[in-house]
């Protein structure tokens, strides 16, 4: 099957490599011409626990090269999602499905305004970008996909085919009817881990052995969970325990936000802690720890330019 992965970051490179390795015709769509040329010529170098392999993928910065695409994985950052999707519109036919895999939930409304049909994807795959076209696969966490609104039988069938295709490529995936709750759970976990690791400059697991950081993690998660509940989301009974578990399972992982900070790139703090702060304001909930994390990372970002 011809598949497009939009976004050559850690997750996009990982998905492109795994799908190409399963025999699909995969096009990695970049917005940078030089980087796309580089990946097209060298392939994606995938570092895994069992060693290293090179996977050939097609890569381009010109969507016109692709023709119609039935399955697109949108793997750009949340702030870039709407712009990236507009570039993809000419690739979409009546049967095309876009699976959007951003952190946070703030971009959902924009995607719904632009795209005729899209599914939300939430993944716990661990991916770290080591260099352009070089990605470390740090763990095979589960991936969930689902629609945020009612869709017809043919869209459901397309989603089911996508789930089967992902599983056959080694991306363990299930389809969920409660995908918004799954996205909120990831948001709560990210609110507890990502900004803290960026500010502490540490791997996820290190948060558990730094008492002040662990205390902030717990408070940030409790605040986020309170906001989720106020927003009408049915959340798991122990969100703090759930987040600590993710820290343990991804102990050696460098969070996506710390990867961005180290590369002096804009982070997703607005979409994560910023989302919690904005949503909390609607309900008059105090979220001082999320506010402090947001301000802390924004202060780091201000030094990038």
Which residues here bind ligand KPL, judged by CB under 6 A?
A: 103, 189-190, 193-194, 204, 246, 250, 253, 255-256
Burial of 43 per CB tally in 10 Å (0-12, 13-18, 19+): middle
> Which is catalytic among the residues 2, 70, 77, 186?
186
Annotated active-site residue 186? The verdict is: yes
Shortest separation between residue 234's beta carbon and ligand KPL, angstroms = 21
Shortest separation between residue 195's beta carbon and ligand KPL, angstroms = 10
Q: Which residue, 1 or 242, has its beta carbon nearer to ligand KPL? A: 242
Q: Which residue, 144 or 194, has its beta carbon nearer to ligand KPL? A: 194
Integer Cα distance of 166 and 24 in angstroms: 11
Shortest separation between residue 238's beta carbon and ligand KPL, angstroms = 17
Q: Which residue, 61 or 166, has its beta carbon nearer to ligand KPL? A: 166
**In Å, what is the CA distance from 45 to each residue of 128, 134, 173, 277?**
12, 5, 23, 38
Q: Are 220 and 192 in contact (CB under 8 A)?
A: yes
Backbone angles phi, psi at 239, to 5 degrees: -65, -30
Integer Cα distance of 182 and 138 in angstroms: 21
Backbone angles phi, psi at 173, to 5 degrees: -135, 140
Integer Cα distance of 136 and 253 in angstroms: 10
Q: Which residue, 15 or 27, has its beta carbon nearer to ligand KPL? A: 15
Shortest separation between residue 189's beta carbon and ligand KPL, angstroms = 6
What is the residue whose two structure tokens read 């989301």?
233
Catalytic residues: 186
């Amino acid at each position: 099957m011809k598949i497009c992965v939009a976004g050559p970051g850690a997750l996009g490179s990982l998905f492109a490599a795994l799908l190409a390795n399963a025999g699909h015709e995969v096009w990695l769509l970049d917005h940078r011409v030089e980087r796309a040329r580089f990946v097209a010529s060298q392939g994606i170098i995938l570092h895994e626990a069992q060693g290293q392999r090179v996977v050939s993928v097609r890569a381009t910065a010109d969507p016109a090269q692709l023709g119609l695409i039935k399955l697109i994985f949108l793997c750009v950052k949340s702030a870039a999602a709407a712009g990236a999707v507009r570039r993809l519109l000419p690739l979409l036919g009546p049967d095309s499905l876009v699976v959007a895999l951003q952190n946070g939930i703030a971009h959902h409304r924009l995607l719904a305004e632009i795209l005729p049909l899209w599914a939300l994807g939430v993944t716990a795959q661990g991916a770290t970008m080591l260099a352009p076209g070089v990605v470390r696969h740090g763990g095979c966490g589960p991936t969930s996909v689902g629609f945020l609104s009612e869709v017809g039988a043919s869209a459901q069938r397309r989603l089911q085919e996508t789930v089967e295709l992902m599983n056959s490529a080694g991306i363990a995936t299930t389809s969920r009817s409660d995908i918004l709750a799954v996205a909120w759970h990831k948001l709560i976990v990210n609110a507890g881990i990502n900004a803290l690791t960026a500010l502490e400059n540490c791997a996820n697991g290190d948060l558990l052995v730094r008492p002040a950081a662990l205390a902030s993690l717990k408070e940030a998660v409790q605040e986020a969970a309170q906001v989720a509940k106020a927003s009408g989301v049915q959340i798991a009974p122990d969100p703090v325990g759930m987040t600590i578990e993710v820290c343990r399972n991804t102990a050696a992982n460098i969070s996506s936000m710390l990867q961005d900070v180290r590369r002096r790139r804009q982070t997703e703090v607005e979409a994560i802690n910023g989302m919690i702060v904005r949503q909390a304001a609607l309900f008059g909930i105090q979220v001082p720890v999320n506010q402090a994390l947001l301000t802390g990372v924004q202060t780091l970002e201000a030094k990038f330019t």
